[in-house]
A and B are shown apart, each in its own frame.
Chain A
């Protein structure tokens, strides 16, 4: 392997990591704040892709408008999802377990809805922008470069939101002590909704970034969900820095594995790494909330 290939692979890994980080952040926020492990997050990712596709291909809308509309609608969809499906379950005992089955059920429902509405054949989403940029010997597609920049921008915004805004701080408070949050008068139900809204928005953004590089098909969300899950296990649920590092490491491993021994081995290698690290560090590489 020459140095050029090496750097190209590294880059492909980092851009992939950008997507995994966003998905992992969504899962983390929903789990930390709303205490829900959202098995339907992959289906949200998938729906984000298909919704954008529908606006672009069927309605023939402008690409930029389509993705912006998709992102906004995904936020409200997340809010609706929490209010209609999750909130009524909270009054029952042991709801944390019931909700896992429910989100799984919703995932199946959403997946099959896609199959019914859009059919099984793969589709494509356009790149953010066509073209490449060359630095000396080095070529990088503009889309890939934007992936990294946009993911970084999203993470920085998220971090500022959680640390500096009142609502963001309130969400952190809810994730740290729900009873404390109630007795200081935080609007917990509203904060649960926001966490779902944000997470769904992050899934839609991930889809818009990643799907142009792969393909749009009915089960496209599951591989990303599973990888985001491994990222969280390694990086520590709720740990932002840990999640970023874990996402980058895992995605680089995935790309190099695919190149060297074939794409099929990516997932098994993930699982092996996860098992090995958990044996020595049961709380993940960086611990939990």
Chain B
């Protein structure tokens, strides 16, 4: 479904992504792990269209998406949920969610998705008239994921959804992502740690802008250099 091929990205003169190639097949849950500052967020931002790489190709459902405006990519069904959330602070939860369903594809399913999202995150329904600026860290994370779901994604690119959350919330977030995966959405998850979800199909390890490992989750946990990568930092 998503095919990233030899992508390079520079920020000013610094190369952040070095010859990155990855693929996510239909319905797969792929995780990219790596320490902070090594390019994980940049990778997702490049895939979703916020950033443009200097070379390489990114194909979504066999269509080249490099250079397309973000709104077109969202319309195709590729939705990015950022670590920074980027919520609309002076709009209510409900309004934020409505904005998530702006694209034509999403608008058709707005009622259905709203119900689904409130089922996944009942707290959002309770707080639906509150302004996004008044939410706690955990609630804001939930809203960011919920808003991404309102865009009716076929493919979700999620950036560190559990960062800074209390352990019980972390668990809840990953259970929710698992449920989303079970419904058939393809997922590309970026995280610092590998201990996130049981439904992960494949893992890539990103170090210093390059992939240093690709394989199943079990193989990753047995791999010594991977373990060093995470315990060593």
A residues with CB within 8 A of B: 166, 169-170, 172-173, 176-177, 179-189, 289
21 A-B pairs within 8 Å (CB atoms) are namely: A166-B98, A169-B98, A169-B99, A172-B91, A177-B88, A177-B89, A181-B88, A181-B99, A182-B69, A183-B48, A183-B70, A183-B81, A183-B148, A184-B102, A185-B71, A185-B75, A185-B106, A185-B151, A186-B99, A186-B102, A188-B71
- Note all chain A residues with C-beta closer than 8 A to B202: none
Partner of B70, one of A166, A172, A185: A185
Is B80 within 8 A of A183, CB to CB?
Answer: yes
A180-B87, A184-B100, A289-B90 known; A169 vs B95 contact (CB < 8 Å): yes
* B70 (CB) vs chain A CBs: closest residue: A182
Q: With A170-B99, A177-B86 as given contacts, are A185 and B91 in contact (CB-CB < 8 Å)?
A: no
In angstroms, Cα B71 to Cα A184, docked, is 7
* B contacts, CB < 8 Å to A: 48-50, 69-71, 74-75, 79-82, 84-91, 95, 98-100, 102-103, 106, 147-148, 150-151
Inter-chain CA distance A234–B50, complex, in Å, is 36
Chain B residue with the shortest CB-CB distance to A167: B102
Given contacts A179-B50, A179-B82, contact A184 B99 (CB under 8 A): yes
- Please state if B103 and A185 are interface contacts (CB–CB under 8 Å): yes
Q: Which residues of A contact B100 (CB under 8 A)?
A: 184
Q: Which residues of A contact B84 (CB under 8 A)?
A: 179
- CA distance in complex: A215, B102 (Å): 45
Q: B106 to chain A: which residues have CB within 8 Å?
A: 185
- Residues of chain A contacted by B70 (CB below 8 angstroms): 182-183, 185
Nearest Cβ distance between residue A98 and chain B, in whole angstroms?
Answer: 19
Residues of B within 8 A of A180 (CB): 85-88
User: What residues of chain A lie closer than 8 Å to B102, measured between beta carbons?
Assistant: 166, 170, 184-186
When the two chains form their complex, are residues A184 and B90 in contact, meaning their CB atoms are under 8 A apart? no
